[in-house]
Amino acid sequence: MKKTAHIIVFGNEKGGSGKSTTAMHTAIALLRLGYRVGTIDLDARQGTLTRYLKKRFDYITRNREHLPSPAHMAIEKSQLETVAEQKFEEESFLLMALDELGQVCDFIIIDTPGTDSFLSRLAHSHADTLITPMNDSFIDLDLLADIDMKNYDVIGPSIYSEMVEEQRQVKKRRNDGTIDWIVMRNRMTHLNTNNNKIITRLLDEISRLAKFRLAPGFGERVVFKEMFLKGLTLLDLKEDQNGGLTLSQIAARQEVRNLIIEIAPEHLKGHATPPQSQVKTAANS
Ligand SMILES: Nc1ncnc2c1ncn2[C@@H]1O[C@H](COP(=O)(O)OP(=O)(O)OP(=O)(O)O)[C@@H](O)[C@H]1O
Ligand SMILES: [Mg+2]
Decide: 55 and 229 in contact? Cβ < 8 Å.
yes
pLDDT at 152 over 90: no
| Contact indicator for 223, 234 with CB cutoff of 8 Å | yes
What distance in Å separates the CA atoms of residue 115 and residue 19, rounded to the nearest whole number? 12
Of the candidates 253, 160, 167, the residue with the CA atom closest to the CA atom of residue 206: 160
> What is the model's pLDDT at position 4?
85
* Minimum CA distance residue for ligand 1 atom 30: 225
Paired residues of 207 in beta bridges = none
pLDDT band at 264 (very low <50, low <70, confident <90, very high): very high
Ligand nearest the Cα of residue 14 is 1
For the chain, the domains span: 6-284
Cα of 201 vs centre of ligand 1, distance in Å, is 25
CATH code given to domain 6-284: 3.40.50.300
What is residue 192's predicted lDDT score, i.e. its pLDDT? 65
pLDDT band at 282; cut points 50, 70, 90: very low
Statement: residue 280 has pLDDT above 70: no
Query: Among 10, 17, 21, which is best to mutate for testing ligand 1, by the most ligand atoms less than 8 A from CB?
Result: 21
Express each pLDDT in 158-199 by its tens digit. 999 999 999 999 999 999 999 999 999 999 887 667 888 888
Instruction: Say how many Å lie between the CA of residue 38 and the centre of ligand 1.
Output: 21
Percent of the chain with pLDDT over 90: 74
Residue 277 pLDDT:
56
Q: Compute the distance from residue 143 Cα to the ligand 1 centre, in Å.
A: 16
pLDDT-derived band at 1 (thresholds 50, 70, 90) equals very low
Cβ contact 115:11 at 8 Å:
no
Tens digit of each residue's pLDDT (9 = 90 or more) over 78-123: 999 999 999 999 999 999 999 999 999 999 999 999 999 999 999 9
For residue 246, the CA-to-ligand 1 centroid distance in Å is: 21
Q: Is the pLDDT of residue 216 over 60?
A: yes
* pLDDT band at 3; cut points 50, 70, 90: low
Q: In whole angstroms, how far apart are CA 115 and each of 81, 90, 91, 257?
A: 21, 16, 18, 28
Residue 276 is predicted with a pLDDT of: 64
Q: What ligand is nearest to the CA atom of residue 49?
A: 2
Q: Distance from the CA of 20 to the center of ligand 2, in angstroms?
A: 4
Q: Which residues pair with 180 in a beta bridge?
A: 129
pLDDT band at 32 (very low <50, low <70, confident <90, very high): very high
Q: Whose CA is nearest to atom 11 of ligand 1?
A: 225
pLDDT confidence of residue 283:
44
Q: In what order do the strands lie in the sheet with 180-186?
A: 71-74, 37-41, 107-111, 6-10, 129-135, 180-186, 213-215
pLDDT at 70 over 80: yes
- State which ligand 1 atom lies nearest to the alpha carbon of 22: 18
Question: Across all residues in the chain, what is the average pLDDT?
Answer: 91
Tell me the C-alpha distance between 268 and 35, whole Å: 11
Q: What is the mean pLDDT of residues 62-81?
A: 94
Per-residue confidence (pLDDT) for residue 244, from 0 to 100: 80
- C-alpha to C-alpha distance for 13 and 11, rounded to whole angstroms: 7
220-239 pLDDT tens trace: 999 999 999 999 999 998 87
Residues in contact with ligand 1 (CB, 6 Å cut-off): 15-21, 43, 46, 48, 113-114, 186-187, 218, 220-221, 224-225, 228
Work out the percent of the chain whose per-residue pLDDT is above 70.
93
CA of 193 to the centre of ligand 1 (A): 23
Task: Indicate the SS3 state at residue 129.
Answer: strand
> How many residues are recorded in the chain?
285
